[in-house]
A = this chain, B = another copy of it.
Amino acid sequence: MSDEQVRQDQQQEVEQEEVVDDRLLRLAADFENYKKRAARERQEYVAFANERLVKELLPILDDLERALQAANEHQEATLEEGVALVHRSLAQLLARNGVKEIDTKGAFDPHVHEALLAQPVEDAESGTVIDVVQKGYTLGDRVVRPARVIVAE
């Protein structure tokens, strides 16, 4: 191997290392930037998710204010209609957002029910839900609030 050859080899080696180092540095910089952007986006996603729900709640607040006004003016029929409307709107909003009422028919299910009381009952099988004190709800596959129930003993 000539000196020239060795020099060229070394030169090439240095250049290759520089290329690889450069790729490493660039990748590391990309990674850092990505991390920062991801953190910022998480914040924005939360704000945006809230904004969408908040936007949907405003017409419900409007209807409630109209109902309140009807109450103040003792327009009972309008008030009753208003309350029915607001209830329907809010129930639909929650349903649209994946909220479902927890079923309480049949046997007590500790995954979705919370027993407040066990009562001896003649005409119900032991372990059956006999009354619902507070409705429960799921959001997707998560229990947002268990149904609070009374169970037959």
**Residue A13 is within 8 A (CB to CB) of chain B in the complex:** yes
Cβ of A71 to closest chain B Cβ, rounded Å: 4
Whether A64 contacts B49 by the Cβ 8 Å rule is no
- A28, A47, A61 — which one has the most chain B CB atoms within 10 A of its CB? A61
**Chain B, residue nearest A19 (CB):** B20
Given contacts A20-B21, A21-B20, A35-B34, contact A144 B51 (CB under 8 A): yes
**CB distance B137 to A51 under 8 Å?**
no
Contact yes or no, A84 B68, CB < 8 A: yes
* Bound CA span A94–B62, Å: 13
Q: Is the pair A6, B1 in contact by a Cβ cutoff of 8 Å?
A: yes
Q: Which residues of B contact A57 (CB under 8 A)?
A: 57, 90, 93-94
